[in-house]
Amino acid sequence: MTTTSTTPATPGTATRRVAVGALLDFTAAVFRHHGVPRNRAGTAARALVHGDLTGVTSHGLTNLTRLYLKLFADGRCDPAAEPEVLADRGAAVLLDSHRALGLWAASETVDLAAERALEYGVGLVTVRGATHLGCAGVHARRAADRGMICLLVSNCGQQRIIRPPGGRSALLGTNPLAFAAPAGPRAPFVLDMSTTVVPTGRVRAAARAGTDIPPGWLEDAEGRPVTDPRALDRGDGYLKWLGGDPETGAFKGYGLGLLVEALGALLPGAGLGPDPAAWSGSGSPSGRDDDIGFTALVIAPARLRREDEFQTQATALFDALTGSPTLHQDHPVRYPGWYEAERAAEYGKSGVPLPAALFTELQQVAADLGLPAPAALAD
């Protein structure tokens, strides 16, 4: 579901550059056309375009037609749903999202957790009945931009595409997590990752491009390497956990995946991946990412210590990293979130590069819906 390829689109004849504002306006208009209220549509558009803006392309606009418009068409997402408070204990809140658009609801969840953190020092908001939230990092960063620390986890509802180490049946999803914290005057530290070696988006991007994937991403039913990315959606290729094989650390990725399942879904009472119903048959991937659960935990350092001391120490932490000696002079030490922020700044000026096929796809969406299409910038 989240962290994906952070390889930017390569400028050239195969891409079209589009102004960030044009992409945001277009995407928000598409969501409004499908019944998402104006303010929510703007928030959701920023979350989706964030993928292309930062180079996390498999969680960007490529998912507009492949994921979000299908959710609307299938009735699996209610564009005007009002999340319901099921329990409010001050520092901790339980919500039922009622199938609201996750691209919006996850940002609202982090914002609510941040407000509670300002009051109590810590805020936890846990959500059931959710839909796909896109790049988890874009939501977590909202707290870091306010000087706070955020952990955001999301399971994949009842989608089962990964097997426990040594197991024959797929029982879990990619179960992403994001962590964001201030880094002094620099862009925040933003870790956004799946608990599998790669997310499904990278595998499907390779399938669309007609290219093989490296050994170590997928395995067959007997644990042998699979390099055909189409095997994932055929049901005869299984994603591997972060760490690869048990001998090289797969139980770390598996353990993180279970952490997300417990904190993101078991806590709020959302749909769980593991279910005995998946034991029978071939053990191939099954279920859909319905009734997703996610949890945002936000901490306000300023409620626990002097804010200036925290910021000074955060600056020192990341000074020590980015100023450290390097193996290669042209490859300085950086941290998660640095390159994404750098890319966003660059594309904000020069335009976001979209593959020509995706640009054409967006033009077709505009024509189908009777909306103004985003225009390419002049070379």
Please report the pLDDT score of residue 9 as a whole number: 45
As given in the structure block, the two tokens for residue 154 are 């999301």
CATH for 81-197+253-322?
3.30.1370.60
- What is the dihedral sign for C-alpha 216, 218, 220, 226? negative
Q: Which runs of E-coded beta strand occur in the chain?
A: 15-18, 84-88, 92-96, 122-130, 149-154, 177-183, 186-193, 218-219, 225-226, 238-239, 292-299, 352-355
The residues spanned by each domain of the chain are 8-80+341-379, 81-197+253-322
Output the pTM of the full model. 0.94
**For residue 355, pLDDT beyond 50:** yes
Structure confidence by residue, pLDDT tens digits, 276-294 = 988 987 778 888 999 999 9
**For residue 11, pLDDT beyond 70:** no
Q: Give dist(CA 371, CA 379) in Å, integer.
A: 24
Structure confidence by residue, pLDDT tens digits, 132-153 = 999 999 999 999 999 999 999 9
Indicate the class that CATH gives domain 8-80+341-379: mainly alpha
**For residue 345, pLDDT beyond 60:** yes
